[in-house]
Structure 1
Amino acid sequence: MPRESRKARRERLRTIMERLAETYPDSRCSLDYQDSLQLTVATVLSAQCTDAAVNRATPALFARFRTAQDYAGASQEEMEEYLKSLNFFRNKSRSLIGLGRALVERHGGEVPVDLDALTQLPGVGRKTANVVLGVGFGIAEGVVVDTHVKRIAARLGMTREEDPEKIEQDLLKLLDESDRVIFTHRLIDHGRATCTARRPFCERCPVAHLCPTAPAAYRAVDSMVVPSTR
């Protein structure tokens, strides 16, 4: 089978996005937040942790720590009390204190609207920075590559890379700027509901006929199936 051209992949991905939009019309960031600081903190905490667990921990955290100055002035012991239900809570406590201090010292206590500045903050990598820019500020400079996006992009034949930053570069060549933020949210929903890590449920997948790794029987059928989330 000849290798698919970039143009063909772009067209196929556009059709996939249309189908996923029909299946997951309400896709959005599943972290709870009210401002860019809360979004940054929640995204830092979501590393190696479910969004649901983060959302259980953040109400009390956000009630106590309202500004970058509050995080900067916290003790390690106090911060750990708020984060002890989360994986790697000690490291994350240090990151949030360092984050607060960096925001105060470098940015006047405000979250910067700049990818390079964000990635220089403690606990903030490229993925977190892309979330903050895309979700918090509506700037689709990059594509968020989490575990669901990495897995599904490979299964859909959109990348052969393993490194998240290289996967992101492949996706940037295929996605229109207007689709970059919602792309991640819809792939996350699809990964949770259907294209799971343990096994893909191709029999209920709305894009199986567009997926090169789906069994031939499903690739031969163009059916619109709304997947169960159970």
Structure 2
Amino acid sequence: MDIPRTVSVALADRPVEGSRCLEAGAGVGATTAGLVDAGASRVYAITNDRGHALSTRERVGDESGLSAAPNGKRSGAADRLAVLEADLRAIPLPDGSVDLITAHGLCNVLDPPALSRIVDELHRVAAPGSHLVVDDYDPLPNDAAVRDLFAVENAASELATGRSALTFYPSSVLRDLFVGKGWAFDRERTLLDPVPWTASHLSAHADAAASFAVNCPDVVGDLLAARAERLAAEIGNESVGRMYSLAFRFPT
């Protein structure tokens, strides 16, 4: 399985092998793949996005991706994976049922109320002594061109849904939030500096803005969608900002 460097670096100092793991917000399955490849005994990948669930199953469920199970036998990746389509504000797992939790690029798509509720759920399902890895993005510099595109996406989202689509939390804010919920801070490291925002990333954000714009008043929605498409084309790509990784330990 192809494991992005950001994932392998974030997991390198965590005890993945033999652990029951939860990927909070499966995305396209990059961290799920990293957990399975590192020898997790079980990985629960949770997402409320049907497309992401399918992508994760396809990426990790490939029977050609075999790795050594904790008992020394070869085990198919699919045998150790459960992709759950669910809301992270109500995780369908028992209390204290996981040993390691990852949230890779999750927090930036959560507004503060949703983030707070999900942090409470992660606390609930964590077993004593478990580990938590949170990877996300610092706020972008004021002169970053991509800020304008993200601002348009947020404007469309706020008009359509009443909440922002993106919130970039400084690492210190997430660290203090999890510590305040009972996690012990372990370490922080930089995964990317600068972050490469590629043409495909920007196109995806422009598409997201357009999907929100459909539910905005006609003229305003059309203007926002057109503005997002134009910005993505004008920017092309940009390398700016920092992606960080925070690690915590749940007290025994």
Q: Normalising TM by the smaller chain, what interval?
A: under 0.3
Give 1 or 2: higher helix fraction. Answer: 1
TM-score by length of 1: 0.23
- TM-score, length-normalised on structure 2? 0.22
